[in-house]
């Protein structure tokens, strides 16, 4: 046992204890300051992340995106159709508790009215449906070869398009059958509810356009009553210009000719809040299909039997024509991509180009879709899609093509040429 150190005084022992306490206190303060700074950092980081999430639209529960571009994220559901009106109708169906299939059918019914030159219930449809569990079902309701088809029909195939605009090229329509099958399997809302938005849209614009037709035709009869002796009783005058909700008249009836243009195929993509998705492509083939209206229903009928041309020597009753349609649903652990296209032979390269640029090259979906498409035509020539210009209301058929995207080439190319000399 060591003897006590006589040189150490009581005051020295006390000062040593004080210094030790100070060191322990300083250490505790440093720890508290570090913890405090860490907590403050977490709070600031959370606030910044929250503000950024809210700014870019990822905040949970955000129901509407202010960005109108294709880059805009939608946290719940989305519908993309040919027109804003049809997309809105599909979205409203989802908001009412409808399924993705309900929304797709409603959007297609709208498209058949907004763009009757592209698609309609006189054509055919292919659904690719993924339910909320991830199971996928394909519903093929394309047109079929009729029973009394001419066995030599394909010998009439030629390189132009005008020869397909007649009754012999009409396939048995399958569009409504496809709607019915899809709705039976996946529908949530009553069948009639899917038609009502389009019926309402039809009635409004039909009456509005009829009023414009009559008004335009009557312009030549407007005279200053003080300088005209042609005065007619309103009671006798008005009935001739009453608007009917279920019919129109020949252009001459209104006193002015009208001209319709543009050609078709259409596509609708739907992604519902429950994770289910629908990608559906519809077509009546060429501009207004066969150019034949059903005498009993007024439905525009397709000319899809010419899809067999160059691909088969014979066709048989019930056979469906080949198709370029590519309605696609891509699923990964983090997201779902619903995509498709329109434009006949342009569909496969256009869809492939968009997917390649988005998934492989990391472009945004808008950039991927906007990227010009490289394609190989029927003559095996490699071509680049021409730069596109957006068209709002109309285009001239003599040198340009409008597809369901609402765009036309700025300069005509051989593979965009249309036949316009209708009989």
- Kindly list the catalytic residues: 265
Q: Read off the pLDDT of residues 13-26 as tens digits, 9 standing for 90 and up.
A: 446 556 666 666 66
At residue 415, does pLDDT exceed 50?
A: no
Where is mean pLDDT largest: 188-197, 222-231, 307-316? Answer: 188-197
Q: Read off the pLDDT of residues 219-239 as tens digits, 9 standing for 90 and up.
A: 666 555 666 566 655 555 565
At 260 the pLDDT is: 34
User: Is 142 annotated to bind ligand?
Assistant: yes
Q: For residue 383, count other CB atoms closer than 10 A to its CB.
A: 15
The whole-number average pLDDT for the span 249-271 is: 64
Strand ranges for 262-370 from DSSP E: 266-271, 277-283, 292-293, 300-301, 328-331, 336-339
CA–CA gap between residue 101 and residue 377 (Å, rounded): 34
> Can you tell me whether residue 125 is helix, strand or coil?
strand
Higher pLDDT, 79 or 157: 79
CA–CA gap between residue 34 and residue 307 (Å, rounded): 74
At 328 the pLDDT is: 94
At 158 the pLDDT is: 73
At 235 the pLDDT is: 58
At 278 the pLDDT is: 95
Q: For residue 59, count other CB atoms closer than 10 A to its CB.
A: 13
At 49 the pLDDT is: 43
- Least confident range from 20-34, 100-114, 143-157: namely 20-34
Percent of the chain surpassing pLDDT 70: 59
At residue 149, does pLDDT exceed 70?
A: yes
At residue 94, does pLDDT exceed 70?
A: yes
Higher pLDDT, 65 or 304: 304
Contacts (Cβ under 8 Å, ≥6 apart) of 220: 255
At 246 the pLDDT is: 72
CA–CA gap between residue 239 and residue 242 (Å, rounded): 5
At 394 the pLDDT is: 35
pLDDT band for position 406 (50/70/90)? very low
At 398 the pLDDT is: 35
- Least confident range from 192-201, 204-213, 319-328: namely 204-213
At 247 the pLDDT is: 73
At 139 the pLDDT is: 96
The whole-number average pLDDT for the span 270-277 is: 93
Higher pLDDT, 9 or 261: 9
For strand 78-80 and strand 266-271, is the pairing parallel, antiparallel, or unpaired? antiparallel
The per-residue pLDDT of the chain, averaged, comes to 73
The whole-number average pLDDT for the span 166-184 is: 93
Write out the two tokens for 111. Answer: 């498209």
At 125 the pLDDT is: 95
Q: Read off the pLDDT of residues 45-72 as tens digits, 9 standing for 90 and up.
A: 444 444 334 333 333 333 445 555 556 6
At 347 the pLDDT is: 86
Contacts (Cβ under 8 Å, ≥6 apart) of 288: 116, 117, 165, 260, 300
């Amino acid at each position: 046992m060591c003897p006590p150190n006589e040189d150490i005084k009581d005051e020295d022992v006390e000062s040593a204890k004080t210094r030790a306490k100070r060191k322990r206190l300083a250490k505790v303060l440093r720890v508290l300051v570090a913890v405090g700074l860490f907590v403050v950092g977490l709070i600031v980081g959370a606030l910044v992340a929250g503000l950024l999430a809210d700014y870019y639209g990822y905040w949970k529960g955000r129901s509407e995106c202010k960005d109108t571009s294709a880059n805009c994220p939608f946290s719940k559901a989305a519908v993309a159709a040919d027109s804003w009106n049809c997309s809105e109708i599909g979205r409203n169906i989802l908001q009412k508790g409808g399924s993705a299939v309900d929304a797709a059918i409603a959007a297609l019914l709208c498209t058949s009215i907004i763009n009757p030159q592209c698609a309609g219930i006189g054509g055919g449809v292919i659904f690719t449906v993924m339910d909320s569990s991830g199971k996928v079902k394909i519903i093929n309701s394309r047109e079929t070869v009729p029973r009394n088809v001419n066995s030599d029909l394909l010998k009439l195939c030629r390189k132009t398009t005008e020869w397909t605009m007649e009754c012999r090229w009409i396939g048995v329509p399958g569009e409504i059958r496809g709607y019915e099958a899809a709705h039976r399997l996946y529908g949530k809302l009553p069948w009639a509810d899917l038609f009502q938005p389009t019926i309402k849209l039809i009635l409004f614009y039909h009456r509005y356009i009829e009023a414009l037709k009559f008004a335009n035709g009557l312009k030549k009869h407007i005279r200053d009553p003080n300088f005209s002796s042609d005065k007619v009783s309103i009671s006798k005058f008005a009935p001739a210009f009453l608007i009917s909700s279920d019919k129109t008249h020949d252009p001459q009836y209104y006193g002015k000719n009208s001209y319709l243009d543009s050609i078709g195929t259409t596509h609708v993509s739907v992604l519902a809040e429950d994770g289910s998705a629908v990608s559906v492509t519809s077509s009546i083939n060429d501009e207004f299909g066969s150019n034949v209206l059903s005498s009993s229903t007024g439905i525009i009928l397709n000319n899809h039997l010419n899809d067999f041309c160059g691909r088969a020597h014979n066709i048989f009753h019930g056979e469906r024509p080949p198709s370029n349609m590519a309605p696609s649903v891509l699923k990964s652990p983090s997201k779902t991509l619903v995509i498709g296209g329109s434009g006949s032979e342009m569909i496969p390269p256009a869809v492939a180009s968009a997917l390649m640029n988005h998934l492989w090259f990391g472009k945004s979906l808008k950039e991927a879709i906007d990227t010009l498409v490289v394609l190989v035509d029927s003559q095996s020539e490699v071509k680049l899609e021409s730069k596109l210009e957006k068209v709002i209301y109309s285009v001239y058929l003599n040198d340009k093509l409008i597809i369901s995207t609402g765009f036309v080439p700025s300069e005509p190319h051989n593979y965009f040429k249309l036949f316009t000399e209708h009989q």
